[in-house]
Amino acid sequence: MENKLSKIIYFVTPYALISSLLYLLGYWSTFDLNILEFISISDIIRLSIYPIAVSVIFVIIGAVVGAYYSACSDTPMKKSTKYVSYIGILIIACIAHYRGHPMWWLVIGLFLAEIIYHGFYKLNLLETFIPNQRAQRIVLWILIAVPILSFSFGKMHSNEILDGKKAQYVNVSIFKNQESFRNQEHLKYIGLKGDYFFFLSIDNAKLYISKSSEVPILELQKSIPKEKKKSNRQKTKDTITNEKLKKGPSEKGM
């Protein structure tokens, strides 16, 4: 029993490290940033444990539901039906990618996990540890899907920030050195890794890296205040009105 437990621990540790690393690479590669320059190896699992847990729960639910429906069906899935389902998944992924929806990363991840799973499940790699064949399939699906979907979730979450769908904002007034943010009133918050905060300009054109000591307090906003938007529009209208008054009435009909 202790021998099996030690083997499981020996496997789980690098597995968790790889899954966490894939999430971080998926997330931060969207911003063309090598996050490993700012964190140590010991921080990798700690910094990605929450999003990885979300993906694990998602995978477990999918595996259990899939096992339930396969148990209810007496006849195995035909190859033609399998290929049609693959084509359907690819079509969904292509449509989501064409429409710029970050969900396409998740669909592609599921597709790859399914392909790899069907290539390995007949090998009975877990037979020594798990005698039950159905349980073997569930565990194998989870083991294959978690690393792949970790990368997919990282990509999906970062693209949702780029699109502004799940972005959090900060006012540049929180920084000690506000002169570095010319013509910027708000920034998108990307994350805190190690001793550094990461921010993105509203138009996604500039990436700002700031030491935590430069940010006395971090105030996150779910959206840019509407009052600020209205005031900016009002200023624009006032500017246009003043320019028209200076020019005088138009000379139509001359």
Are 123 and 219 found together in one domain? Answer: no
Residue 211, phi then psi, degrees to nearest 5: -65, 145
Domain of 19 in residue numbering reads as 2-163
What's the CA gap between 167 and 64, in Å, rounded? Answer: 32
Are 98 and 135 found together in one domain? Answer: yes
What's the CA gap between 65 and 138, in Å, rounded? Answer: 10
What's the CA gap between 31 and 199, in Å, rounded? Answer: 10
Amino acid at 233: R
Q: How many domains does the chain contain in total?
A: 2
Are 154 and 187 found together in one domain? Answer: no
Q: How confident is the model at residue 99 (pLDDT cuts 50, 70, 90)?
A: low
Are 175 and 144 found together in one domain? Answer: no
Are 151 and 172 found together in one domain? Answer: no
Are 152 and 191 found together in one domain? Answer: no
The confidence score (pLDDT) of residue 236 equals 41
Are 28 and 133 found together in one domain? Answer: yes
Domain boundary among 163, 192, 215: 163
Count of helix runs (H) and strand runs (E) in the chain: 6, 4
Asked whether residue 243 is assigned to any structural domain, the reply reads no
Asked whether residue 244 is assigned to any structural domain, the reply reads no
Nearest to 92 by CA among 107, 112, 77, 82: 107
Q: Each residue of 61-80: pLDDT tens digit? A: 766 666 555 555 545 555 56
Are 42 and 157 found together in one domain? Answer: yes
**pTM over the 0.85 mark:** no
The contacts found for 184-188 with CB under 8 angstroms, 24 or more apart, are 185/228, 186/221, 186/224, 188/161, 188/164
Asked whether residue 230 is assigned to any structural domain, the reply reads no
Q: Each residue of 103-119: pLDDT tens digit? A: 778 888 888 888 888 77
Are 106 and 150 found together in one domain? Answer: yes
Measured distance between the N- and C-terminal CA atoms of the chain, rounded to whole angstroms:
99
